[in-house]
Amino acid sequence: MSMMVTGGAGYIGSHAVKALLRDGHDVVVVDNLCRGHIEAIERLRSLAPDRLHFVRSNVGETVHMESVLREHAVKSVLHFAALAYVGESVKEPLHYHRNNTSAALALVEACHRAGVERFVFSSTCATYGEPEANCIPIREDCPQKPINPYGWSKLHVERILADYAAYCQDAGRPFAYAALRYFNVAGSDRDRLIGEHHDPETHLIPVVLQAACGVRDEITIHGTDYPTPDGTCIRDYVHVEDLIDAHLVALNALEPAENGADQRHYNLGIGKGYSVREVIDCARNVTGRDIPVAEGPRRAGDPPVLYCDPSCINSELGWSASTPDLESMIDSAWQWMLAHPQGYATQSAANA
């Protein structure tokens, strides 16, 4: 029996694949490589050549996904495959709904046909939109009111899973799912085998580190007049390895049963936030390098403060982040960037 990881050539998905291989599982990776990296798969394959199976495909191809699920006797799916640029989703909403929502629906249908019993979904804090001040820290019962197509595309999948789980309960089919709502994922594999590589890069920590190593000229702070101690936005960061550990804990806790569908929704974060200036100052300390900063206007839709209350997953599953300090998160990302200043393109250039 194998585990399927969709989007397993991407940043978060590749870390999930590594953890599953480490734990002795056979892993089927499905990725169309539109934004994933075949170099990540090649590196991961070196860990367990006989237990990693790569399928280049769109998860929205129901018939093909059903065939792959059956061929490998998959009973558990971790679904990471998605587009994840908020600004792009505003410019190309149909593309996001097709790729994130419709493709997930097709995948769930394939899982239904193939008898998959456990499904862990990579959701997002973007489903909460701009929470009211009295909802900070954000709990799972905070109203979900997305303000962009990306957030809606993820919330629609949560609805699909809930409706399917209700059907399974009525039909006596074993099924259980967890929807994990991320805040800001940071850091890289401490072995430096795999890491974060986006094009374009929009995440704050790698952007700051790119400025530290000269890949970009400076880092722009978007808004310095927010009602926060230093005037910049505050966000919750969680190390990618902690995030994946939460996925595996949630997966193992799911209990498919014919007399009821297990449904779980958890926020994933460390439960406190760091400001943009704190991230930059910490990066300066970690790298020992100057990081040029420019100040720009606020971006539309950036709330002053966003961080979660992770007590639900802590109390129900015993999970909490093992790396809550910003310095350790930044250091792991920095070690990856020092070895791969152009991400996976560094390896490609070296092999050319």
Positions marked catalytic: 150
Pull the structure tokens for residue 21. Answer: 């291989």
Q: Mapped to the 3 state alphabet, what secondary structure does 248-283 carry? A: HHHHHHCCCECCECEEEEEEECCCCCEEHHHHHHHH
Bond into 341 cis (ω within 30) = no
- Measured in whole angstroms, how far is the alpha carbon of residue 170 from the centre of its chain? 31
Measured in whole angstroms, the distance separating CA 285 from the mean position of its chain's CA atoms is: 27
Degrees, nearest 5: CA angle 275-293-241: 45
Which of 13, 52, 46, 38 lies closest to 348 in space, CA to CA? 38
Amino acid (one-letter) located at 5: V
Task: State how far the Cα of 232 lies from the Cα of 240, in Å rounded to an integer.
Answer: 24
Alpha-carbon distance of 299 to 242, in angstroms, equals 29
Tokens 């580190």 belong to 209
Distance CA 193, CA 42 (A): 10
Q: Are 241 and 191 in contact (CB under 8 A)?
A: no
